[in-house]
Amino acid sequence: MKAYDVLIIGGGVCGLTAAIYAARANLSVGIIEKEVCGGLVNWTHVVENVPSYKSIHGLDLMAKCREHAESLGVDLVEVEAVTGVDLSAELKLAVTADETYAGRALIVATGRKPLALPVSTEFENVHYCAICDGAPYKGKDVVVVGGGNSGFDESLYLAGLGVASIHILEVFPQCIAAAATQDRARRTGIIRVDTNTKITALDVLESDRGRLHLENCADGKTWTEDCDAVFCFIGQKPNTDLFHGLLDLDKAGYIVANADMETNVSGVFAAGDVIVKKYRQIVTAMGDGAIAALQAEKYIRAR
């Protein structure tokens, strides 16, 4: 068993911030991350709303956060998924395939994962990360599903890769991405946007392209469109399957935590995108992580 003062599940920006604050309080800290540290920020082409950087690639920002945490002696355990937890005793336990980890305090910072395309399909070129999967589509036609900030940011990244055309589809009457980002996308000349548009089916063509069956939600008009790939950015689902029946969750599966990031279980804190909250931004996740770590320190010192 590996034991720490503070055990953190989730190595995104929230978890790393919590680790930095806890380590600076002279507490031993371990992070367990099922993939690589950085979370969804790693997928972000450009970050322009974090003070101190006018513009920075998400991967670069998270590399700096990771370097900061490691410099303070934080133990980063990556590519190791937690398969079970025990929150009933003074020491909180997290179990993986290879090890059991313990913490005097536990911070849940597991974040969210992308929602799947809302139609079943055999089309293989459906993706959820332009940074990860965009390069093969230089000179090709791409459809992006979702008119939020992620949809537009990822479209701009694809445009920078040399994609021939990008069609953003939004099911609602208007896109909710920042106005400046929408303007920048439209100025590329290769990005067009349709609202009130939903996908009803996605077929595979003999040419290995996909054929989208589309419907206008306002007037019922239907048509088809062929493309080489579909990138989907329609929302997120909280990673809380481990905590059903253990922590209080809302109807959508988000963890209920108070302003001090305390859950219904003493010694267990939750922070970042995984909790019930109004705004989910990089800076709010950082703030949540800092609060959780400070409260975890207070909890531990009191014992």
Q: Residues 129, 175, 227, 232: which is the catalytic one?
A: 129
Helices (H), 25-175: 58-71, 130-133, 149-161
Q: Is 133 a catalytic residue?
A: yes
For residue 148, with 0-12 CB atoms within 10 Å meaning exposed, 13-18 middle and 19 or more buried, which class applies?
A: middle
Cα gap 38→273, rounded to integer Å: 13
Q: Is 65 a catalytic residue?
A: no
Contact by Cβ (8 Å): 107, 4: no
Q: Residues 86, 132, 208, 250: which is the catalytic one?
A: 132
Q: Is the dihedral of CA 11, 13, 19, 22 positive or negative?
A: negative
Cα gap 232→168, rounded to integer Å: 10
Q: Residues 60, 133, 203, 248: which is the catalytic one?
A: 133
- Phi, then psi, of 288 in degrees rounded to 5: -60, -45
Cα gap 224→190, rounded to integer Å: 19
Q: Is 228 a catalytic residue?
A: no
Cα gap 224→213, rounded to integer Å: 5
Residues with catalytic annotation? 129, 132-133
